[in-house]
Amino acid sequence: MVPPIDVLLFDPESFFDREGWGGWASPAAVVGVLLAVQLLSLYPTYQMTQQLFSEVSGGSGFALVSVAFSAGWFLVTTPLYWLGVAGTAYGVGAWFDGDADFSTTTQAVAWGFVPHIVGTAVAVAGSYLRYVQTELPAVTEDMTQQEIQALSGQITGAPTDPVNLVITVVGLVTLLWGAYLWTVGVENVHGIERRQAVIVAVPWILLSLIALVSRFVGPMA
């Protein structure tokens, strides 16, 4: 039986010491739930894009293609992210003479995505809030590219928008929380020291921070 999720979140050492967290079913379900929440986040974006281009020929098709591309992006990159972190964890464990195989390492890493589910759910709530509060005028054929881009920017909102700031802060907290779970999981399954296991999270935290900074710097460039 899988240990309770609250044990994972607040006492991960105890979680990974117990039996039942391994196997493929539960870890894969964690990543599956994350994917489902990510896909759910596309609905308000689709509705707003469809509203924005409702007066343009092929506007509905554009909205559908846009959301399909985003869905495909999530379906490809999320499993790759999982495998990337798992590969890093396995490499670090092997470097320090850890004794877990790649399969067990991958299963342990999956549990670190539970906080990401919370962060993504908050992002979904923020997207729905923006969808409810924002009334977009339809794009017309005589609008300039700059005007269309300005209207399109309202779909996601400015990085400094209050909703986006809340999403960003929650995202940072869940990123660090997930990194802590990765660290404890790798420490447990590989039997290495905490200061060694923490190396696993460093490159992924840096990549996430670079992506975050680019969101703020990009609009000001």
In DSSP notation, 76-130 reads: HHHHHHHHHHHHHHHHHHHHTT----HHHHHHHHHGGGHHHHHHHHHHHHHHHHH
Distance of alpha carbon 67 from alpha carbon 94, whole angstroms: 40
Whether pLDDT at 26 is above 60? yes
| Residue 70, token pair as written in the block | 């985003």
The rounded percent of the chain whose pLDDT value lies above 90 is 54
Residues 38 and 78: beta-carbon distance below 8 Å = yes
Q: Which residues are within 8 A (CB) of 65 and not within 5 positions of it... i.e. 6 or more apart?
A: none
Question: In the predicted model, what is the mean pLDDT of the chain?
Answer: 85
| 1 or 93, greater pLDDT | 93
Whether pLDDT at 162 is above 70? yes
Residues 130 and 44: beta-carbon distance below 8 Å = yes
Q: What's the pLDDT tens digit per position in 103-155? A: 999 999 999 999 999 999 998 898 888 777 767 666 666 666 666 666 666 66
Whether pLDDT at 54 is above 90? no
Can you say whether residue 144 is alpha, beta or left, with left for phi > 0 and alpha for psi between -120 and 50 degrees? beta
Residue 39: pLDDT band (50, 70, 90) is very high
